[in-house]
Amino acid sequence: MGLDDAIRTALDRLSGDKDRLQVGLADVFGRVADSSALKTFALMRRHRPIVSAGSTTIVTRNEDVKEVLGDPARFTVDLYGPKMVAITGPFILGVDDTPLYRHDHAAMDRAVLREDLPMIGDRMYELARALVAERRDDDGEIDVVSQLADPAVDRTIGEYFGTPGPDRATHLRWARNVFQELFINVGNLAPVRERALADAARWRPHLDRQIAVRKAQLKAGEDVPDDVLTRLLRLQSEDEPNFHDIAIRHNILGNITGWIPTISNAFARVVEELLGRDDELERAQQAARAGDRELVGRYAFEASRFRPQNFALLRYVPQDTTIAAGSDRETTVKAGSTVFAATLSAMHDERAIEAPGEFRVDRPWSDYMLFGHGLHTCYGEHIVRAQLPALATALLEGPRLQRAQGDPGKLRFAGPYPSGLTVRFGA
Ligand code: HEM
């Protein structure tokens, strides 16, 4: 039996149990994402590009992934919405094209400014460089998750948003647990949900206090930092009275949840991918040594195309609809179904991407679907395009990198997240 038949059979067998099927799918693809997902998707694209069984459908071709992500009326984010409300309140990734979505997105855009990006990248580079130097001088090794990405990202968020966590470990845990419940817990496993709700119940009052303190400082005319929190609160007294304190909290909590777990995850996978590619690693290191952060970024995002932070995005189907209508793969999906739009597969679809199996650093940005597609394209995309290259440059600009000896030199996981990958600086 071919691999696609095996998938089909597994889907058929599990199709009566929506929760088990979804957990199974997420689990299977999560585990194999680093090894055989590319091969599996290649087979699916060729032989069975849309697999539908019971209430779950997977689309694998670039065109179909774009159809799903590009039509928020037929394919909604209703799977995330209620979970977000339980965590804090409505947030843009939990509502589709509505006045609330447009209002909150636009309000955030007045505080998270494009002109901040060079500063965000430079600050990340400065922090990451100091962390790398310290570890290199100490024992010649660094764990790229716990000793580099996590502390640098956490610090930049605290400074830029103006809402640091009570301490780093707690802040990282809150964001990771909440992210897992919102985006990974497709089967709604109770322990995952309860852990996230408990952490959110601590996080909300923490943010409420920070908002109240800053508001009082502004009212008293004190000197305050020009960070996102200050800017959002200033909007209230200007022309955004509806962006009340609780809405500010939803948006800050939502964005930090999108920020902490993703960059270290993506970065660990980028390093893992480069460590497996001698020539590309060498060239990326040369670019870093030459201070060419833009080129280092191209290596990082191309590495991510092979080993992305997530392989698919989920959508809910509110009414019966047809995907790829008029084609020989046309598939009708029933109301109440879940669709996995396999972005990893779309980025390797030879029908849309030139030489998808080759590692190229001159691809157009439109080849990448690392940040989704359509209405819900990542809000932090530009921040990541400033921070990830900076982080990578700080790591790569020194001597030749290699894996640390033994298990620490392997990419390790704690639940769904990379927990460590230790690299050694050569002579
Ligand atoms: C490497 C890091 C990151 C990756 C790979 C990533 C990936 C994504 C993806 C794939 C989506 C689309 C989700 C969907 O359509 O279901 C998304 C949405 C989103 N991301 Fe990111 N993200 C990253 C970092 C960030 C950062 C740093 C922030 C905040 C500063 C952020 C905030 C958001 C928000 C708010 C949305 C929802 C946007 C909307 O609904 O319009 N993300 N992200």
Ligand 1 touching residue 370 (CB < 6 A): yes
| Shortest-distance Cα residue to atom 29 of ligand 1 | 380
Ligand 1 touching residue 374 (CB < 6 A): no
100 C-alpha to center of ligand 1: Å?
A: 18
19 C-alpha to center of ligand 1: Å?
A: 25
Q: Round to whole Å and give the CA distance between 121 and 132.
A: 16
Question: Residue 313 forms beta bridges with which residues?
Answer: 341
Burial of 406 (0-12, 13-18, 19+ CB in 10 A): exposed
| Shortest-distance Cα residue to atom 7 of ligand 1 | 371
| Segment (H or E) for 302 | helix 293-306
User: To test ligand 1's pocket by mutation, which of 378, 379, 382 has the most ligand atoms within 8 angstroms of CB?
Assistant: 378
| HEC assignment per residue over 184-251 | HCCCCCHHHHHHHHHHHHHHHHHHHHHHHHHHHHHHCCCCCCCCHHHHHHHHHHCCCCCCCHHHHHHH
**Residue 421, φ and ψ in degrees, nearest 5:** -160, 110
Ligand 1 touching residue 371 (CB < 6 A): yes
Is residue 350 helix, strand or coil? Answer: coil
* C-alpha separations of 230 from 28, 102, 255, 260, 395 in Å: 44, 21, 16, 21, 33
Residue 309's nearest CA partner among 338, 268, 341, 361 is 268
| Shortest-distance Cα residue to atom 40 of ligand 1 | 93
Ligand 1 touching residue 404 (CB < 6 A): no
Q: Round to whole Å and give the CA distance between 30 and 311.
A: 8
pLDDT digits (tens), the chain, 427 positions: 444 455 555 555 544 455 555 555 554 555 555 568 899 999 999 999 999 998 999 999 999 999 999 999 999 999 999 999 999 988 888 888 999 899 899 999 999 999 999 999 999 999 999 999 999 998 899 999 999 999 999 999 999 999 999 999 999 999 999 999 999 998 899 999 999 999 999 999 999 999 999 999 999 999 999 999 999 999 988 877 678 999 999 999 999 999 999 999 999 999 999 999 999 999 999 999 999 999 999 999 999 999 999 999 999 999 999 999 999 999 999 999 999 999 999 999 999 999 999 999 999 999 999 999 999 999 999 999 999 999 999 999 999 999 999 999 999 999 899 999 999 998 7
- 255 DSSP 8-state letter: H
| Shortest-distance Cα residue to atom 18 of ligand 1 | 378
Which residues make Cβ contacts (< 8 Å) with residue 307, sequence separation at least 6? 33, 34, 269, 270, 272, 273
| Shortest-distance Cα residue to atom 28 of ligand 1 | 380
Q: Round to whole Å and give the CA distance between 4 and 6.
A: 5
- CATH number for 3-399+406-420: choose from 3.40.50.300, 3.40.1160.10, 3.40.50.1820, 1.10.630.10: 1.10.630.10
Ligand 1 touching residue 255 (CB < 6 A): yes
What ligand 1 atom has the least distance to the C-alpha of 256?
29
* C-alpha separations of 13 from 59, 145, 390 in Å: 19, 38, 46
352-358 long-range CB contacts below 8 Å, 24 or more apart? Answer: 352/61, 352/62, 352/63, 353/62
Q: Contact at 8 Å (CB) between 411 and 268?
A: yes
Q: Contact at 8 Å (CB) between 338 and 314?
A: yes
Q: Round to whole Å and give the CA distance between 156 and 153.
A: 5
| Shortest-distance Cα residue to atom 27 of ligand 1 | 259
